[in-house]
Each structure stands twice: as structure tokens, then as C-alpha cells.
Structure 1
Amino acid sequence: MTVTKKLRIGLIANRSHQDATNSALVQLLHGAGPALRHLQAELVIVGRTLDAIISHGLLEACPSVERFPYGREGGLMKLVSRVVDTDPARAVDAVIYLIDPVDPSSVFPEAQALKRQCVIHRKPFLATLASAREWLELEATAAGASIDTRLNDSFLLEQEGIALIAHDAMKESMLAMAEKHFALLDRFACRYATGTTGGLLNRLAQQIKGEEAGKNWTRPFLSGPLGGDAQLAELVLDRQIRRILFLEDPHVARQHEADIQLLERAARTVTDFSQVISEVSGADRWLSLLTQRVAI
């Protein structure tokens, strides 16, 4: 299959994910070079991250590069602008931001705005090594590339858990998505959810699988404001949950914002294992491509 549009991908990594020879950035480019080349990806790379790529001798893994300034000189702010840009020749289609959960720059306004604008403009925001590797693998195989068999162990859904979370305004979208991709979600060993979302998903499962078979389809935890996100974070840290589908409403103030960030921080702590998907259309495509990948 011929790639008809080159993907433009913003790329930045916190310092602790850049320098070491086994850093997340190095692991990503070592593993995903073939996928990037197959996709003919154009990378918009913030200054110091590009310096690190060059120092590791990995520039050849990047088919095309546009250099942005260092973060302290506004590089991350410019990347936010490219997320919202209406000119397809300038806009980025996705952002890979390898976040170190203890790096204070990850909570700077421009870093938070980058994620929020990705959600608003329906573009993938990939903040862990696992999420970047999987997204590039799924996009490349969808475009006709051979599968990367080194990643096969991360697609054994029958041995893994998935978390399903949705803010109030997004619960209908979650139910529609779960119904559309029910066969795939049903393959996971465990499905976890917070409060109300878990109850709604179990009722959906009862309609599809029958009252008895579907009543415990998801394991509901407390609601987010009462600590459900924290309960799920522990399972992430224990590597019992690899994938988190968290449909966020970016337009409302959230009293339990700290709990949401806690769950995301847990995923970033086990960056090589876990990932968070937050945007509806991207999540729908991700589930569709995941279905194709596990069927191969």
C-alpha cells in the first residue's frame, strides 16, 4: 500500500529520556526507524532533542527533519502552535513527547497546553515510549509495512488488562466506541473502569453477551473524584494495565485534576510498558488498527 500523505510528527523528549545510550529516545529510534522510513515521516524536533539524536548517531532513522528552537527559547511553544495550525504543510499530525514524570518542565504551561490542544484538535499525544512505539507500528503496518515481530509480546491481549475511563461529557462516546470495538475489548483478560463508566459498560456487555455473562465484564473501581484514578494507577505501576483509554473533556474545569495527572504520571513512570489514549477519533482509529494487528 502506498503512503499518500507524509505524516508530520512533533518530537521532544525530557532530558532524562535523551542522554543515556538506553534512554527512551534511543530505544524509540532504534526500534521505530523502519516504521518512520516506511511512513516517510517528517519530524519537527525541538532543539536539544535533535542534538541528542545527532550525538547518538541516529539521525538516519529520521527521514526528514525540521529543527525547532530549544525549549527555553520557545521550541515547545512553537510546537503547540503547529498542532493548531490550519495549514497542512505546517501542521503536525501527532506529537511524541517522551515525558519524565519527575521533570518539572513537563508541568510548564506550554507542556500542558500541548496535550490539551492535541485532544481538542484530535491528534495523537504520545507521552510514553510504549505509546510511541505502538502508534508507529500500527500506522506503519496499516500502510503496508511488515510487522515488527519484536513487539509481538505487547499484543497478547488475553494476558493483559485495559482501563476504560470517560468524563461525563464523553460517556456516550465511550459506550459507542465500546460497542463498535466490543469483540476486541472482550479479548482482554481484564477490563477496569472508574465508577459510573464501569456500570454503563457492564450494562452494555449484558445487552451483547447476556445478563449473566456480561454483568462483570468490567471491574468498576471508585469514581475518579473519590480515588478511582489512584486505584488504577497502582495497577499500572504493577504492570497489570498496559493500555488506558481515558476519554477526556478538555473544555471543563476538573476538581480532581490531580488524580487525572496521577494516573498519567503512573503510565509515564513505566514508560516502556504503559500508555494513555485520550482523544476520541484517535482512539477509534487506534482500536481499529489494533484489531488488524492482533489478527495478523
Structure 2
Amino acid sequence: MTESLPARPDGPSAPRRFGLIAHRLHRQHADSALTQWSRACEPLVRALRLELFVVGGAFDALLRDEQLLDHPGLHRLPNGREGGLMRVVSRVAGGLLPGDALDGVVFLMDPVDPSSTFPEAQALKRQCVTHGKPFVPTLAGALEWVAVEALQAGLPAESVAPLAPLLALEEQTVALIAHDARKRDMVAFADAHFDLLSRYEARVATGTTGGLLNELAWSRGWPAGQPWVTRYQSGPLGGDAQIAELVLDGACEKVVFFEDPHVARQHEADIQLMERAVWSAGHRCSCLNSPAMASQWAQALQRLA
């Protein structure tokens, strides 16, 4: 455990590297979301040799709760007020030197923590989306993503058995949302993983995206006239808010949201509302926010079939 950020070792077997951050709510007591995650995922973290670069407050909480104490891949960054989060943003974008880059970020977010609106927090998510790297803001998503990493690394399905409820698609509802520049990507993702997505108990979508997905489903032999997804309003007309209510009610456990990070949106407040609903329901809801992240997730779950 050290303040430094060692360079990534060369070679295809080099361990994956993730930033780890937690708002105060999720690290302030011994049964916090951070501790729940580390307890449940410690065997897989060790098996995968994951490198974790932990911002100060979260690192101190792991020490307090005696989690991952002797894990050689645990590294401390400065506190957020000292630039720790800013350093994570830089390393998501590639860092300053070869070997600095992080492969993704777990950021356990509290929707009412003022720092969730700070520039570095918003930039972190944007850079993850821009570079196609996982940005994981909830406990459910953080637990699930370690299972994804394990399955992608070729660990046996039995290794993720303790996390099986998160992977039981037949008992869940998924929301499929895409900005205009990403709608083609969403249709391509649904086409490539149609059978996997069809395993969900239900699918919902915002207006235009939902129409495109239903057309795709009917072209693939889904019963004519029977919607593959339930359509809500388009995003600018309130569809994001409607899906946010489903999330808050426990009626939607997964949000696949393909964002365009390069275009200002008139309904930005609606988008943030939906995201904050996911954070509020973080113990049961997760989000995939780029085609690259969603493809990694789908490929991993197909290993369980």
C-alpha cells in the first residue's frame, strides 16, 4: 500500500487497474456500501490481482474495516480535496506517462452529496464514457462488475456464484436509452445481444429508441404487434423522468444508457434526474453508460449460458 501510482507491467496478463472512490455516505460506517463491496468481492479481487487506486477517504475506510489489508494491488491516492479525484480523471484519459492509464472506475455516489456536482466528478464520468471505460456508480453495479471482470478473465462460473442474484436477468427489468448520436449503437447492441436481452422479464425504453428497438425485434421474428420494449415518452418530453420513477419504485434494475458526451442537451436536467435516481437505488440498480461497457457486460454474461 503506497501513495505512488506504479506503472502498469507489460504483457497481456497484466492485472486490470481501477480507480475506487466512495462518497462519505458509502464509507462512514462498518456496514457501508464500500465495506459491503469489499467483503463480497475480496476473493475475486485477489484472484484477478486487480489494481485498486483508492482516493483517500475510501482508502482510510478500508483500513478502518480491515478490508484488503495485505492486497498488494491496493494503492492510496490523496483525498479528494487534495486532488485525488482529479488524478483519477487524468489517468482514465491515459495519464501523463506510459503505464498510467486506468481501465475503469468504481465511484459509489451519493445523490445528495454536494461533491457529486463538482467539475471533477462530472469530468470523471464524461471521460469514462468518452474512452469507453466502465464508470460504476452504485453498489449493485460494483458487485456486478467484479463478476464481469472475473468471467471475462476466464474464471469459472462457480467463482461468481455468490453474486448470482445480480445476474438473474429473468427476474429483472432493463431500460434501454440512447441519445440521438447513439441510437444506431443501441440498435446494433440489441441486435448483437438480442437473445440475452430477451431473457429479461421486461424491457422499457424512451420513445424514439423504443420504436427502433421494436422494429428490430419484429424483424427478428418477435411476435408481430407485440412490443419487445414498453415505450415511454421521448427524453425531452419526460421519458427519462418516467424511467427514473420505475427505478425508484424498484421496478427497473438495469439501465443501459448510451450517452453522447460531445453534445449539449436541452434536457440535461432530465438526464441528471434519471442518473441520480439510479444512485438513490444503488443497492439494487446498476447502469451501463457506453457501448463498450455494455458489450463487455454482455460478453461476460454469455459465458454463463
Quote the Cα distance in structure 1 between the aligned partners of 2:253 and 2:71.
27
Partner amino acid, structure 2, of 1:178: A
> Paired residues, what number?
292
2:294 to 264, 283, 288: 283
Match of 2:5 in 1: none
Quote the Cα distance in structure 2 between the aligned partners of 1:233 and 1:106.
18
Name the SS for the 2:303 alignment partner: helix
Partner amino acid, structure 2, of 1:124: P
1:180 to 192, 197, 200: 192
Q: How much has 1:67 moved relative to structure 2?
A: 1.6
1:135 aligns with 2:145: yes
Partner amino acid, structure 1, of 2:103: D
Quote the Cα distance in structure 2 between the aligned partners of 1:205 and 1:277.
21
Question: Identity across aligned pairs (percent)?
Answer: 49
Quote the Cα distance in structure 2 between the aligned partners of 1:277 and 1:210.
25
Quote the Cα distance in structure 2 between the aligned partners of 1:75 and 1:210.
49
Answer whether contact 1:161 1:189 (CA < 8 A) is retained: yes
Match of 1:247 in 2: 258
Answer whether contact 1:164 1:192 (CA < 8 A) is retained: yes
TM normalised by structure 2 equals 0.92
Quote the Cα distance in structure 2 between the aligned partners of 1:271 and 1:281.
22
Quote the Cα distance in structure 1 between the aligned partners of 2:30 and 2:293.
31
2:39 to 30, 34, 52: 30
Cα 1:131–1:62 change in 2 (3 A) is farther
Match of 2:3 in 1: none
Name the SS for the 2:224 alignment partner: helix
Answer whether contact 2:150 2:160 (CA < 8 A) is retained: no
1:104 aligns with 2:111: no
Match of 1:16 in 2: 25
TM normalised by structure 1 equals 0.95
Deviations 1:169-223 (A, max 9, x none): 001011111000000011111110001000000000010015516x411000000
1:204 aligns with 2:204: no
Q: Please list every run of at least 4 consecutive aligned residues from structure 1 whose deviation after the TM superposition is greater than 4 angstroms.
A: none
Which blocks of at least 5 consecutive residues in structure 2 are unaligned? 1-11
Match of 1:221 in 2: 232
Match of 2:247 in 1: 236
Aligned Cα root-mean-square deviation (Å): 1.6
Which blocks of at least 5 consecutive residues in structure 1 are unaligned? none
Answer whether contact 2:222 2:228 (CA < 8 A) is retained: no
Match of 2:9 in 1: none
